Amino acid sequence: MGVVLNKSPFTSYQNIFLFAALAIVCLFIILLAKGKVHTLFRNHYTKSFVLFMALSGIAGVMVLHSLTVLSLAEATLLLSITPIIAVFIEWAFLKHSISSYKIAAIVIGFLGVVILLFEGISSKHSLINFGVLYVLAAALVSVLRHFSAKHQRSIHTTDTVLFFTMIAQLIASAPFAFSHSWNFNLESLAITIVTGILSAVFAFYLYFHALRYIKVSTLGVISYIQVFLGAFWGIILLSQPLGLETIAGGICIIASSYLVSKKNE
């Protein structure tokens, strides 16, 4: 998806809007085929569900847009810090115990973030890479969405959660998508449709099912696989260089995420 967002004639927000719209149509057809459209109107839509909707819309837009503000390798690296953020939130706000092992992992992950945050400082006019700050904010909101989704899965079906998640993402991306003119052509629409089905429907469906069986901090570490794919596709298809700072910071972040994941097993 990162490659499509970077190479598409549409803006990143327009692509996100189209992904969400396509997912809504597909999910409605699935619910219709299952004879479960009525479940959309028979669930308990509490304040916590509204909060989940808001977080889902914001997180979905921010995470996908993150793939365009930095190189794919850098963006996916920073997004893979989510297990560390989840562990910190579990300790600071949910009163979970934290071992010295996890503290060490957090420190290592923080070091990796600092390396990326000040990457290329000697060759840039800005002291800090603000693109990194944006991606970190996206990771934080994504973790909050993870916790909210963990609660919603016990109340709503996966189909319902996905359907309203895509509606939230559609609403959140709409103002940005329509602030620019649209460059429609058959090829870009076809790519968007195929990518949208795979990423916005199938991948999210698997994600929400995974939340039923593993912890938030464990689920987040799976994203480190995306780092290697992000770096590979970024180099091959987008000609994005892989600097020494990115490699050094990436090693720290992946190591810390892996340590947290193994400790939770």
In the chain, the percentage of residues whose pLDDT exceeds 70 is 77
| pLDDT value, residue 40 | 78
Within 13 Å and on the Cβ side, how many CA atoms surround 82? 29
pTM confidence score: 0.78
Give me the residue spans of the domains in the chain.
Answer: 2-264
- pLDDT given for residue 175 in this prediction: 95
d(CA 5, CA 67): 7
Q: What amino acid is encoded at 258 in this protein?
A: Y
Comparing CA positions, the residue from 193, 213, 258 lying closest to residue 1 is 193
CB distance 111 to 46 below 8 Å: no
Return d(Cα 42, Cα 57) in angstroms, integer: 22
265 vs 239, residue with greater confidence: 239
Name the DSSP letter for residue 123.
G
Specify the higher pLDDT residue, 260 or 32.
32
Give pLDDT tens digits for 204-222. Answer: 666 666 666 665 555 555 5
What's the pLDDT at 117? 73
Contact partners, residue 45, CB within 8 Å, separation at least 6: none
Q: How many CB atoms are closer than 10 A to CB 254?
A: 22
Instruction: Check: CB of residue 17 under 8 Å from CB of residue 177.
Output: yes
Torsion of CA 177, 183, 187, 189, to 10 degrees: 30
Which 3 state secondary structure label does DSSP give 129? coil
How high is the pLDDT of residue 205?
65
Report d(CA 167, CA 48) in Å as an integer: 16
Instruction: Using pLDDT thresholds of 50, 70 and 90, give the confidence band for residue 43.
Output: low
Q: Distance (Å, rounded) from C-alpha 56 to C-alpha 63? A: 10
- Amino acid making up residue 231: A
Q: How confident is the model at residue 17 (pLDDT cuts 50, 70, 90)?
A: very high
Phi first, then psi, for residue 43 (nearest 5°) are -95, 165
For the CA atoms of the chain, what is the radius of gyration?
19
Element (H, E) at 55: helix 47-69
227, pLDDT greater than 80 = no
User: Closest Cα partner for 162 from 130, 208, 128, 129?
Assistant: 208
Per residue in 78-87, pLDDT (tens digit) is 887 887 888 8
What's the half-sphere exposure (Cβ side, CA atoms, 13 Å) at 70?
A: 30
Q: Predicted confidence band at 125 (pLDDT cuts at 50, 70, 90)? A: very low
- Is residue 241 scored above 70 in pLDDT? yes
DSSP-based three-state secondary structure for 238: helix
Euclidean distance between CA atoms 75 and 264, whole angstroms: 25
Pairwise CA distance, residues 250 & 208, whole Å: 27
